[in-house]
Amino acid sequence: MNNQSLSAWVEEVARQTEPDRVVWCDGSEEEYRGLVQAMLRDGTLHELDQVAYSGCYLHRSHPSDVARTEHLTFICSDRAEDAGPTNNWMSPTEAREKVGRLFDRSMRGRTMYVVPYLMGPAGSSASKVGVEITDSAYVAASMRIMTRMGKVALEHLGTSSDFCRGLHSLGDLDPERRFIAHFPEERLIWSVGSGYGGNALLGKKCFALRIASTMGRDEGWLAEHMLIMGLEDPSGNVTYICAAFPSACGKTNLAMMVPPASQPGWKVWTVGDDIAWLRVGADGRLWAVNPEAGFFGVAPGTSRKTNPHALATVQRNTIFTNVAMTRERHPWWEGMDGQVPAELTDWKGRPWTPASKEPAAHPNSRFCVPAKQCPSVSSLMEAPEGVPISAFVFGGRRAKLAPLVYESRDWAHGVYLGASMASETTAAATGKVGVVRRDPMAMRPFCGYNMGDYFRHWLEMGRGRSSFPKVFHVNWFRQNEAGKFLWPGFGENLRVLRWINDRVHGRAKGHETALGIFPAEGELDTSGLDLHASAMSELFSIDRDAWIEDLADQEAFFGSFGDKMPEEIWREHRALRSHLSP
């Protein structure tokens, strides 16, 4: 290894953390097996049934360390205004004193793993190199699944000093000494006191979104919390879509959708389930690559009905975190198919029965698995140029407000749809569940800079570009007065994607409403669905009073950005209020 910048940094970290030994990870299968065997011996991993679940293991994290800790996640930009009101800010000087010292001698008695990794396809000009230093074998093994790790990353880097530095230590796992700090100007990440995925796998949300979003702002591209999917019609034409939903709102299910029998000839191809890096191509279109190589999906609720491809994917070579285990040593979680077992070992390692008061699997339990194992994985996932995007889809959980689907009138209106997104919170982040919060572009926890500037960057990216994607908003979760979902969801969501596809290709006319363009009568296929007689009218009804109330909440949120908030977004906000006025 002849990269002087990297070698010097590793030596500097070793001097501070004082590990017993330093291991440079090469990403080989042999190395991975060695990491697994060492974790089985020390109890970090538990072996599952190797016949039914070949190469699969269970990890149990500390009960205080089970989700992203947004309140302990900081943007350490030079100026507080550059972090903005949606981020926690800490000055770099304070961070070096408060967080930096927690790494002093933090790896004594442990191994320090140096993990070079490539975000994006090998050979792609869109790909970026990161290096994570960690004292967790679980992190090193998971990074091999989630990224293109080892030799391929070092070859891409060469002698350059242009790489994202990530330093992670488990510390003592004390929540009082747990911090995830990002230094966007330095392309540096510090994480201490947590072993949980999103806090510890620094290539994921930390680099691929928080740091990469600032890189995208500076370099003229986008790093987004979006799935990438290809929708193939019966004649073989594939249209690529990016969609943004808050965590645990069905993003992975949509990315791996299995078309139902009611939609013969249609196919869905999975390019990515969580993150998209988007650049303008030579043809003026927006092209996307998936920077990741694996899936870190939410387990509870995953079943043959909701996501059969995910179930098939995790049958081998998977690290499960905080799921339950059956007597046969099979993974189990709430929402799985079949009867609930009479006895389980819960996510904390305790005996569990259906009479137990707590869930058997943690609501945010996860699976970490290579994407190439997915039955619907796209042949273009590793294409250096990526795939051309024809539509953006924004969505969230709104029980009463948002209609099933509608389209923006133009690019600025589309950016407004993303900027005004709101969703009911889930278990993917610590805090209350079921509270509606603004979550623009599903990026609120992940944008590494002021979101007012972020909205402006979105507006500028598409200004004057006729070949940019159309923008849509969807809501699979609308309910009737009895609290029942009005739309069947899951595979039947393909019917909505078909209308989006028809709009992209000029085959559907739609009709104008106060909110945007709705499907015209008969354009949305509902044949064969067991819908209540009034379901479709309810799915597309506009409660003007409720929308006026939501606009007031939008106004307060947008106002928090002060003069950073683009006037174009305010203009769209005022226009909607005008459209809704009697």
Percent residues over pLDDT 90 in the chain: 93
pLDDT reported for residue 68: 81
* pLDDT band per the 50, 70, 90 thresholds, residue 375: very high
4-44+69-220, what's its fold?
Phosphoenolpyruvate Carboxykinase; domain 1 (3.40.449)
State the DSSP string of 311-352.
HHHTTSS-EEES-EE-TTS-EE-TT-SSPPPS-EE-TTS-EE
pLDDT reported for residue 248: 62
Q: Which CATH architecture has domain 224-292+379-580?
A: Alpha-Beta Complex (3.90)
Amino acid at 19: P
Q: Is 492 annotated as a binding residue?
A: yes
Residues with active-site annotation: 249
Tokens representing residue 227 in the block: 């799935």
Q: Are 291 and 242 in contact (CB under 8 A)?
A: no
* pLDDT band per the 50, 70, 90 thresholds, residue 425: low
Q: By three-state DSSP, how is residue 556 classified?
A: helix
Q: Is 510 annotated as a binding residue?
A: no
Q: Is 250 annotated as a binding residue?
A: yes
Q: Are 190 and 167 in contact (CB under 8 A)?
A: yes
Q: Is 274 annotated as a binding residue?
A: yes
Residue of higher predicted confidence among 532 and 494: 494
Read off the pLDDT of each residue in 437-464 and give the average, rounded to a whole number: 97
Residue among 454, 457, 425, 447 at smallest CA distance from 438: 425
Q: Is 374 exposed, middle or buried (0-12, 13-18, 19+ CB in 10 A)?
A: buried
Amino acid at 279: R
Task: Give dist(CA 341, CA 534) in Å, integer.
Answer: 39
Q: Which CATH architecture has domain 295-373?
A: Beta Complex (2.170)
Task: Give dist(CA 565, CA 450) in Å, integer.
Answer: 10
Task: Give dist(CA 517, CA 405) in Å, integer.
Answer: 9
pLDDT tens digits for 326-366? 999 999 999 999 999 999 999 999 999 999 999 999 999 99
pLDDT reported for residue 58: 98
Q: Is 508 annotated as a binding residue?
A: no
User: How many residues are there in the chain?
Assistant: 582
Q: Which of 135-139, 230-234, 355-359, 530-534 has the least mean pLDDT?
A: 530-534
Tokens representing residue 536 in the block: 């479709």
562 CB-near residues (< 8 Å, 6+ apart): 452
Q: Where are the domains of the chain?
A: 4-44+69-220, 224-292+379-580, 295-373
* pLDDT band per the 50, 70, 90 thresholds, residue 433: low
Read off the pLDDT of each residue in 62-80 and give the average, rounded to a whole number: 93
Tokens representing residue 473 in the block: 């908003």
Q: Which of 252-256, 428-432, 475-479 has the least mean pLDDT?
A: 428-432
Residue identified by tokens 């409720």 is: 546
Other beta carbons less than 10 A from residue 550's beta carbon: 21
Tokens representing residue 385 in the block: 């140029």
Q: Is 248 annotated as a binding residue?
A: yes
pLDDT reported for residue 461: 98
pLDDT tens digits for 238-267? 999 999 998 767 899 999 999 999 999 999
Q: Are 487 and 480 in contact (CB under 8 A)?
A: no
Read off the pLDDT of each residue in 545-574 and give the average, rounded to a whole number: 97
pLDDT tens digits for 550-561? 999 999 999 999
Residue of higher predicted confidence among 562 and 426: 562
User: Nearest-5° angle of CA 93, CA 450, CA 92?
Assistant: 5
Which pairing describes strands 57-59 and 45-47: parallel, antiparallel, or unpaired? antiparallel
Q: By three-state DSSP, how is residue 260 classified?
A: coil
b/e 482-521 (16+ beta carbons within 10 angstroms → b): eeeebbbbbbbbbbbbbbbbbbbeeebebeeeebbbbbee
Other beta carbons less than 10 A from residue 121's beta carbon: 22
**Strand-pair partners of 113:** 23, 134
Read off the pLDDT of each residue in 184-202 and give the average, rounded to a whole number: 96
Amino acid at 152: V
Task: Give dist(CA 161, CA 144) in Å, integer.
Answer: 22
pLDDT reported for residue 189: 98
Distances (CA, A) of 438 to 74, 267, 421: 19, 33, 6
Amino acid at 206: C
Q: Is 518 annotated as a binding residue?
A: no
pLDDT reading at 436 higher than 90: no
pLDDT reported for residue 429: 53
pLDDT tens digits for 376-390? 999 999 999 999 999
pLDDT reading at 522 higher than 80: yes
Q: Which of 286-290, 428-432, 510-514 has the least mean pLDDT?
A: 428-432
Read off the pLDDT of each residue in 52-71 and give the average, rounded to a whole number: 93
Task: Give dist(CA 141, CA 137) in Å, integer.
Answer: 6
- Taking phi first (over 0 means left), then psi (-120 to 50 degrees means alpha), and beta for anything else, what does residue 446 get? alpha
Q: By three-state DSSP, how is residue 441 classified?
A: helix
DSSP 430: S
Distances (CA, A) of 578 to 64, 500, 536, 553, 570: 48, 26, 25, 16, 12
pLDDT reading at 427 higher than 60: no
Residue of higher predicted confidence among 193 and 250: 193
pLDDT reported for residue 430: 52
DSSP 148: E
Read off the pLDDT of each residue in 296-318 and give the average, rounded to a whole number: 95
327 CB-near residues (< 8 Å, 6+ apart): 341, 343, 344
Residue among 376, 375, 488, 471 at smallest CA distance from 420: 471
pLDDT reported for residue 431: 61
Tokens representing residue 325 in the block: 């285990």
Which pairing describes strands 73-75 and 179-183: parallel, antiparallel, or unpaired? parallel
Q: Is 172 annotated as a binding residue?
A: no
Read off the pLDDT of each residue in 396-416 and give the average, rounded to a whole number: 96
Give me the chain's average pLDDT, please: 96
pLDDT reported for residue 421: 96
Task: Give dist(CA 109, CA 399) in Å, integer.
Answer: 51
Q: Is 247 annotated as a binding residue?
A: yes
pLDDT tens digits for 455-466? 999 999 999 999
**Strand-pair partners of 289:** 277
Is residue 144 within a helix (H) or strand (E), and if so which, with residue range? Answer: helix 137-146
Q: By three-state DSSP, how is residue 8 classified?
A: helix
Read off the pLDDT of each residue in 124-148 and give the average, rounded to a whole number: 98
pLDDT reported for residue 249: 77
Q: Is 414 annotated as a binding residue?
A: no
Q: Is 448 annotated as a binding residue?
A: no
b/e 313-322 (16+ beta carbons within 10 angstroms → b): bbeebbbbbb
Q: Is 197 annotated as a binding residue?
A: yes
* pLDDT band per the 50, 70, 90 thresholds, residue 443: very high
Q: What is the 3-state secondary structure (H, E, C) of 67-131?
A: CECHHHEEECCCCHHHHCCCCEECCHHHHHHHCHHHHCCCCCCCEEEEEEEEECCCCCCCCEEEE
